[in-house]
Structure 1
Amino acid sequence: MHRRDRFRAQSILVDRMLKNEKIDVMYNTILTEIRGENKVSTVLLENVKTGEIKEYSADGVFEYIGMNPVSEFVKDLNITDEEGWIITDNRMKTTIKGIFAVGDIRKDAVRQIVSDGCIAALEAQHYVESLQEKGNNLSYV
């Protein structure tokens, strides 16, 4: 189901999904309720244009709601752009020493958190080591 009348994702991905025989697309539709006891049994779906609500059988639910950054926890640090994406350099460093960001929270295009995480871990290690070299008494956690 999709809450709009068309997709805004990359056309190649949309085309691939639409050609998949196992997927039935419901446009202008939102999930309003998940029902079941100890497991999903039905869902209530609402047509956003007509307001009509229908109940459908379901064995499970996978929700994916776009790409909005969850960065409220750093909003006062001034390391995000106006949309909330954390800004880093290519070594995952923010403008605040010792604070790194990885994965889809970053300003740049969608990244793989594994490779970003590896880069950030190495940079964090170098940062801590540089503090220790300066005489700070820090230990690794």
Structure 2
Amino acid sequence: MGIREREKNKKEIEFLAIKGYIISDSFVSFYKEYGQLYIDIKVKGNDRVIDFNIYTPVSYDYDEVIINDYPKIIGSKNSIPIGNIDGTSYLIIDENKKIYSLYDGSVLIIGENPDNALNNLFSKEWREFQELPIPDWW
């Protein structure tokens, strides 16, 4: 990774910390490897755009929900945005490197780790992902 990439990652990590996110090692390692990756592919005949850009989820003041509510729903200590799918379904990572999709009140498990998640995003339709139940309090 060059100096510009390290500086860019550092600024993005600082940006998230200022917004209140707890920066986990899983996020830092993920973002160093995949940050700013943009993929436009067809999955079983359907277009899918995967954009590992942290600014889309946080640009809609969705931070409080990602910081406070989603960790309770996924059973983790924290969650941090890592990007989006098709500009609407947010991607988050927890402290154990597990990746989830957040869309319109639903939570899908995308993968147990980044490599597994990418493989799933490249090969599975939405209905093939496991959906977590949303608690009554939400």
Same fold (TM over 0.5): no
Q: 1 or 2, which has the higher strand percentage?
A: 2
User: What TM-score do the two structures reach when normalised by structure 1?
Assistant: 0.23
Q: 1 or 2, which has the higher helix percentage?
A: 2
Higher relative contact order (CA 8 A, sep 6+): 2
